[in-house]
Each structure stands twice: as structure tokens, then as C-alpha cells.
């Protein structure tokens, strides 16, 4: 994954943050909206695009763009940095290939131990019955 190439393809938009107003709040656009077009990206390979679109399907728009918003800070620059940080964390999580599961068998000693305990349990319960005369 080429982070510099992806950074060049990101689009940012500053919006007025929601919440209660006050002095200065209605004048400043501190909320940042990050947009990344996954489908038309020239940096990502086709396999990466399909993996991202499968894993992040709920976060993509109908056009195949990924939208992230950040309004944690009062500073637009901090919000931009936070949005980029979250974006790369999301991408890395989506592109991580899960490990293949190896089928395993119990060892011979474990099988033997299990069968011995079953036999002992069966014997114990058989001994509870009334003796035949």
C-alpha cells in the first residue's frame, strides 16, 4: 500500500460542526470530511479494491467512495490529521489477510485418556445398579 500515493488521492472538505452554537461556532468550519474514491483509485490494485469494497461495504457510498468525518477537536488541522489517521487504520484492517486455519487432530494419548475416563465412568454407573441374585 503506497501511503503517499493514496494521500494525493484524498479529498477534504471543511464543514460547520454540529452541536450547540455560541460565539465563533457558527462562523468556523472545523469539521473535516475525508473522501476517498476506492473504485477509481489508481494507486490500489484490483485485488485490494475488491477486498476493501467487501470489508468496508457498509462505509462506502453507492459510487464506491469512502467517507469519513471528524469533529473531535476545535482545530480543523487536528481534525484533518485524525481523519487521515483513522482512514489508514481502516484501510490496513481491511487489507489484512486472515491466516488460514490448519486442521488439527487430538494426540493418541489424549484419545486414549478420554476413552479410559469413559470406561471408568461407565463402570462406576454400572456398579450403582442392584446386584442380581
Split at pLDDT 50, 70, 90, the class of 68 is: very high
The DSSP bridge partners found for residue 67 are 35
Q: How many CA atoms lie within 13 A of 105 on its CB side?
A: 4
Is pLDDT of 72 > 90?
no
3-95 has which CATH code?
Answer: 3.30.160.20
Q: What is the CA radius of gyration of the chain?
A: 29
Q: Where are the domains of the chain?
A: 3-95
* Model pLDDT for residues 13-58, shown as the tens digit of each residue: 998 887 776 777 777 888 999 999 998 889 989 999 999 999 999 9
C-alpha cell at 17: 460542526
Q: How many DSSP H helices and E strands does the chain contain?
A: 4, 3
d(CA 59, CA 71): 18
69 CB neighbour count, 10 Å cutoff: 15
Amino acid at each position: 500500500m503506497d501511503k503517499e500515493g493514496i494521500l494525493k488521492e484524498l479529498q477534504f472538505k471543511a464543514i460547520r460542526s454540529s452541536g450547540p452554537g455560541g460565539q465563533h461556532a457558527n462562523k468556523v468550519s472545523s469539521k473535516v470530511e475525508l473522501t476517498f474514491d476506492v473504485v477509481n483509485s489508481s494507486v490500489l490494485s484490483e485485488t485490494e479494491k475488491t477486498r476493501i469494497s467487501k470489508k468496508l461495504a457498509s462505509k462506502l457510498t453507492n459510487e464506491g467512495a469512502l467517507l469519513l468525518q471528524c469533529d473531535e477537536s476545535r482545530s480543523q488541522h487536528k481534525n484533518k490529521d485524525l481523519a487521515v489517521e483513522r482512514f489508514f487504520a481502516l484501510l490496513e484492517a481491511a487489507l489484512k489477510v486472515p491466516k488460514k486455519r490448519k486442521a488439527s487432530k487430538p494426540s493418541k494419548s489424549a484419545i486414549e485418556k478420554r476413552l479410559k475416563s469413559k470406561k471408568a465412568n461407565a463402570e462406576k454407573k454400572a456398579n450403582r445398579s442392584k446386584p442380581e441374585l
